[in-house]
């Protein structure tokens, strides 16, 4: 994946453990436009690559803004960005990518964020406001002190009457609140969510009880536990008229790399969508969290870093 250098123009402490980083191009020119909800890869000071959602207005291209929460068990990603990155420093980033696209033609858009999951929802809210769409933004956090961007959400023109804070609600109460929020939705409404896994699971269950499952759009920050290796079987991959054997314990990406074929990757955990390849023949065993259920049912794409095959051979192509 092509990476390029940017300069850290500003760092703000949004909460005691969340910092925002404003990044600008080295030549001072504007960035290319990107769709709301997109994320970028950032190569941190320890060379670790992590994905962060853009939370600046998608039509203000003089800078990209990301917010980084200091994770207690960080192995060098967020901790290094918090501790070792200063204003003026250069960082390497990727171009924005997006799996959380705004659904055209929806009658309402309900944004539901928890914790640092607020970041992609902010750029989506900017876009929905700009285009005059009907939306609500529900933000769950342990407390106001732990919630980033509250002032922005309260004071930005067009946001204040659409933003609802839900502070200090235990998980059982969150479920009831979500049920009330979703009770008035129609089949044409769409829900977008980002936050901890358990929270998003509740959002998914509550929203899917009212609207079609595919109308619920989920942005994962973390991969769920990988499926156990005992479920794996070996299979063949056919690519550009060559056959490759994918053994148990190796991914398609790893197998192809061993044979000199590079597939673009980023997260390598099935959440970012960078490694998606086309499926020409065969039935994938989808194990990613980046494709929707209808995309998985279509069986014409595969996240090659984690997914495997149900059929003895998968014929793939680069997209």
Q: Does 117 bind ligand FES (CB under 6 A)?
A: no
| Helix, strand, or coil (residue 88) | coil
Phi, psi of 286 (to 5 degrees): -70, 125
- Closer to ligand FES by Cβ: residue 15 or 307: 307
Size, binding site for ligand FES by CB under 6 A = 14
Q: Does 91 bind ligand FES (CB under 6 A)?
A: no
- Closer to ligand FES by Cβ: residue 115 or 273: 273
CB 218 within 8 A of CB 271: no
In this structure, how many other beta carbons lie within 10 angstroms of the beta carbon of residue 101? 13
Q: Does 38 bind ligand FES (CB under 6 A)?
A: no
Q: Does 288 bind ligand FES (CB under 6 A)?
A: yes
| Sheet bearing 301-303, strands edge to edge | 242-246, 235-239, 313-317, 276-281, 301-303
Q: Does 272 bind ligand FES (CB under 6 A)?
A: yes
**Minimum CB distance to ligand FES, residue 266 (Å):** 5
**Minimum CB distance to ligand FES, residue 253 (Å):** 7
In whole angstroms, give the CA distance from residue 268 to residue 68.
Answer: 20
Question: Which residue bears the tokens 């207005």?
Answer: 57
Out of 44, 120, 270, 284, the only residue in the binding site for ligand FES (CB under 6 A) is 270
| Helix, strand, or coil (residue 169) | coil
Among 126, 110, 120, residue whose Cα is nearest residue 67: 120
Q: Does 216 bind ligand FES (CB under 6 A)?
A: no
Q: Does 56 bind ligand FES (CB under 6 A)?
A: no
Site residues for ligand FES per CB under 6 A: 265-268, 270-275, 288, 290, 303, 305
């Amino acid at each position: 994946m092509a990476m390029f250098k940017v300069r850290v123009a500003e760092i703000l402490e949004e909460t005691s453990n969340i910092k925002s980083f404003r990044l600008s191009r080295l030549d001072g020119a504007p960035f290319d436009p990107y769709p709301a909800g997109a994320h970028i890869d950032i190569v941190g000071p320890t060379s670790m690559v992590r994905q962060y959602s853009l939370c600046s207005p998608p039509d203000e291209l003089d800078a990209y803004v990301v917010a980084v929460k200091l994770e207690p068990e960080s192995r060098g990603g967020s901790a290094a960005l918090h501790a070792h990155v200063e204003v003026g420093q250069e960082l390497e980033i990727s171009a924005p990518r997006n799996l959380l696209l705004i659904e055209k033609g929806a009658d309402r858009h309900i944004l539901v964020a928890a914790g640092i999951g607020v970041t992609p929802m902010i750029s989506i809210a900017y876009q929905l406001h700009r285009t005059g769409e009907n939306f609500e933004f529900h933000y769950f956090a342990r407390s106001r002190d732990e919630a980033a961007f509250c002032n922005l959400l309260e004071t930005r023109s067009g946001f204040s009457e659409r933003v609802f804070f839900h502070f200090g609600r235990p998980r059982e109460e969150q479920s009831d609140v979500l049920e009330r929020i979703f009770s008035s939705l129609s089949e044409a409404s769409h829900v977008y969510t980002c936050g901890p896994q358990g929270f998003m699971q509740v959002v998914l269950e509550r929203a899917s009880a009212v609207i079609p499952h595919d109308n619920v759009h989920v942005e994962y920050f973390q991969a769920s536990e990988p499926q156990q290796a005992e479920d794996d079987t070996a299979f063949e991959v056919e690519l550009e008229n060559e056959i490759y054997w994918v053994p148990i314990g190796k991914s398609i990406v790893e197998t192809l790399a061993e044979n000199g074929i590079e597939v673009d990757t980023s997260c390598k955990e099935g959440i970012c969508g960078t490694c998606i390849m086309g499926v020409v023949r065969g039935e994938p065993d989808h194990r990613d969290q980046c494709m929707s259920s209808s995309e998985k049912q279509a069986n014409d794409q595969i996240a090659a870093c984690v997914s495997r095959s149900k059929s003895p051979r998968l014929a793939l192509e680069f997209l």
